[in-house]
């Protein structure tokens, strides 16, 4: 199995690139977000790889960082979510926001992805609501060549205060999924001056959890 490839970017298409590794061109499918940050034609880059092997094909999927790869695996574990839909979701929603999207049961955010309708979005939210906490939203192991998203997709808005509040709640014994949801609800109710105040977020989140 292939777990990582390092080579020179030969060319780009809308949903994949060709990576030249010692003279061998590998077709690697990736989200628009990954394709936008890994560099330009001729640049050298390392990509984390998921390889899917079937009777008629061997397909490689590449990721700029570990958190995107982890979410791809989790998303495609849901019935009806194939690799194409998984990459589409990752293109529409930053990987480091997906935990909050799922914990807050935000169906609208998922349906922004191409090929994801309300029914599939509801299934994803239902099946992953207790698994979102398996992936640490602060993990940002960006590979060489990655910098900032340039495709116009929404940027991550998860702040350090959000992460600290979630961490504090989990230390109190709450499940991470519960903590995500409570912090998001708390943030929506806090005034602008308190939206990044950890103590206020924790207090409001505890109120939500006890309701």
Does one domain contain both 86 and 112? yes
Listed range (79-83, 127-131, 144-148, 176-180) with the worst mean pLDDT = 144-148
For residues 144 and 45, is the Cβ–Cβ distance under 8 A?
yes
| One domain, residues 93 and 35 | no
> Domain ends where: 19, 34, 63?
63
Query: What's the pLDDT score for residue 145?
Result: 42
Average pLDDT over residues 4-32: 96
Instruction: Check residue 153 and give its pLDDT.
Output: 34
**Residue 152 confidence (pLDDT) above 60:** no
Q: Is residue 139 one of the residues assigned to a domain?
A: no
Instruction: Report whether 112 contacts 143 (CB < 8 A).
Output: no
Tokens representing 193 are 């001056």
Residue 155: which pLDDT band, with cuts at 50, 70 and 90?
very low
Residue-wise pLDDT for 24-68, tens only, equals 999 999 999 899 999 999 999 999 999 999 888 899 999 999 989
Residue 133's pLDDT is what?
61
Residues 112 and 165 in one domain: no
Looking at every residue in the chain, the average pLDDT score rounds to 83
How confident is the model over 182-205, as a mean pLDDT? 83
3-state secondary structure of 155: coil
Closest to 14 in 3D by CA, of 112, 98, 114, 108: 114
**Residue range 147-170: mean pLDDT, rounded:** 61
Residue scoring higher pLDDT (170 or 45): 45
Higher pLDDT, 167 or 10: 10
What is the dihedral sign for C-alpha 27, 28, 34, 38? negative
Residue, of 196 and 73, whose pLDDT is higher: 73
Q: Are 59 and 70 in the same domain?
A: no
Is residue 205 predicted with pLDDT exceeding 80? Answer: yes
3-class DSSP state of 65 = strand
Counting residues of the chain whose pLDDT is more than 90, the rounded percentage is 47
74 assigned to some structural domain? yes
199 is written with which tokens?
A: 């103590």
107 in the same domain as 78: yes
Are 75 and 45 in a shared domain? no
d(CA 16, CA 28): 5
pLDDT, tens only, 94-138: 887 788 788 778 888 899 999 999 999 999 999 998 776 666 544
Among residues 48, 63, 78, the one where a domain terminates is 63
Pair 16, 57 in one domain: yes
> Does residue 80 sit in the same domain as residue 128?
yes
Range of the domain at 101: 66-134
Do 56 and 109 sit in the same domain of this protein?
A: no
CATH number at residue 28: 2.40.50.140
Max avg pLDDT among 124-133, 145-154, 201-210: 201-210
Provide the domain count of the chain. Answer: 3
């Amino acid at each position: 199995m292939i777990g990582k490839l390092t080579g020179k970017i030969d060319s780009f298409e809308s949903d994949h690139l060709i990576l030249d590794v010692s003279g061998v061109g590998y077709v690697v499918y990736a989200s628009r977000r990954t394709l936008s940050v890994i560099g330009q034609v001729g640049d050298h880059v390392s990509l984390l790889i998921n390889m899917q092997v079937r009777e008629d094909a061997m397909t490689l999927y590449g990721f700029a960082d570990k958190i995107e790869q982890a979410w791809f695996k989790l998303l495609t574990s849901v019935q009806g979510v194939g690799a194409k839909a998984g990459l589409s979701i990752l293109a529409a929603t930053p990987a480091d926001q997906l935990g909050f999207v799922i914990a807050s049961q935000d169906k609208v955010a998922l349906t922004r992805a191409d090929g994801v309708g309300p029914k599939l979005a509801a299934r994803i939210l239902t099946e992953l609501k207790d698994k979102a906490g398996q992936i640490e939203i602060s993990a940002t192991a960006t590979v060489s060549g990655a910098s900032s998203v340039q495709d116009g997709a929404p940027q991550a808005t998860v702040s350090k205060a959000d992460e600290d509040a979630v961490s504090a709640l989990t230390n109190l014994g709450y499940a991470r999924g519960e903590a995500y949801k409570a912090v998001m609800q708390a943030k929506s109710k806090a005034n602008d001056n308190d939206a990044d105040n950890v103590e206020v977020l924790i207090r409001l989140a505890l109120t939500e959890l006890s309701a």
